[in-house]
Amino acid sequence: MQKYHNIVILTGAGISAESGLATFRSSNGLWNNHPVDKVATIEAFEQNPAYVHDFYNELKPEVFKARPNAAHIALAKLQKKYPSPVSIITQNVDTLHEKAGSTHVLHIHGQIDQAVCLNCGKIISATSDIDTETICPFCQTMGMMKPNIVFFGENLLCMDEVDILLQHCDLFISIGTSGVVFPAASFVQTAKSVGAQTYEFNLEPTSNNFYFDHHIMGQAGITVPEFVEKLLAQEEN
């Protein structure tokens, strides 16, 4: 294993599975038990915001009680100890990376603990329920708060920063994502096009596994800490 100058890590629901949070597309996943077109599209929110609010309000207690697992903790350690920048881009709306000690995590799909006002654009903390009667504390408008979660049909967050990171990375690691939701699924191609080594950590090969140089199969809570220790040991030699 070589030494790297810019490490970029993309995480998906699989990294939080061992913390007890359901993934989206597994047999017991969120999208198999809930109609995705009714809870995760901007059209659904426009047509029936109360239904969408209920869905995320019910999800919140489960997400907030989850604790980071060994994979989140290992990535936080890598960020602290590796001498070059280690950037985390996550599709997850939980904040388990931050709870593990990671800083500056790019939440491209938003965060469940926040809401955004569609009238003034301000983001507020939303650890308790929000609904169609919530009043924006900034512009005082009622009924315009939306979970700060990127729905299908909306633009991803932080993409300018993501593009710069991908253009300069020499190691790209994808952990626990099925690679079917774009544009995150195409980040590996961008990383490869600039010459990065590419690693995929998953339980199984994914639909875009063709773009990865290395496949590490198994539970992220085991494989990721092992890999992090190898990277840190290499750096010490």
> Which residue number places its CB atom closest to ligand OAD?
14
DSSP 130: -
Distance CA 220, CA 215 (A): 12
- Does 109 participate in catalysis according to the annotation? yes
Q: How does strand 214-217 pair with strand 197-202?
A: parallel
User: Which of 182, 209, 214 lies closest to 196 in space, CA to CA?
Assistant: 214
- CB 32, min distance to ligand OAD, A: 9
| Catalytic site residue from 53, 97, 107, 109 | 109
Report the nearest approach of ligand OAD to the CB of residue 231 (Å): 18
In order of 12, 72, 150, 201, the CA distances from 158 in angstroms are 16, 21, 11, 23
In the complex, what is the shortest distance from the CB of residue 227 to ligand OAD, in angstroms, rounded to a whole number?
12
For residue 26, the minimal CB distance to ligand OAD (Å) is 6
Amino acid letter for position 39: V
* Cβ neighbours of residue 17 closer than 8 Å, sequence gap 6 or more: 23, 26, 176, 220
User: Which residue, 58 or 133, has its beta carbon nearer to ligand OAD?
Assistant: 58
Pairing assessment for the beta strands 7-11 and 214-217 based on DSSP bridges: unpaired
> Which residues have CB under 8 Å from 103's CB, separation 6+?
79
Adjacent-strand bridge partners of 173: 9, 199
Q: How far is the CB of 229 from ligand OAD (least distance, A)?
A: 17
Nearer to ligand OAD, 87 or 202 (CB): 202
Using the minimum distance from each CB to ligand OAD, give the nearer residue, 97 or 109: 109
How far is C-alpha 66 from the geometric centre of its chain's CA atoms?
Answer: 15
Nearer to ligand OAD, 176 or 190 (CB): 176
Q: Which residues bind ligand OAD (CB under 6 A)?
A: 12-14, 17-18, 23-26, 29, 40, 91, 109, 149-150, 176-178, 181, 201-204, 206, 219-220
Give, rounded to a whole angstrom, the gap between the first and last alpha carbons of the chain. Answer: 11
Instruction: Give the nearer residue to ligand OAD in terms of CB position, either 66 or 203.
Output: 203
Catalytic residues: 109
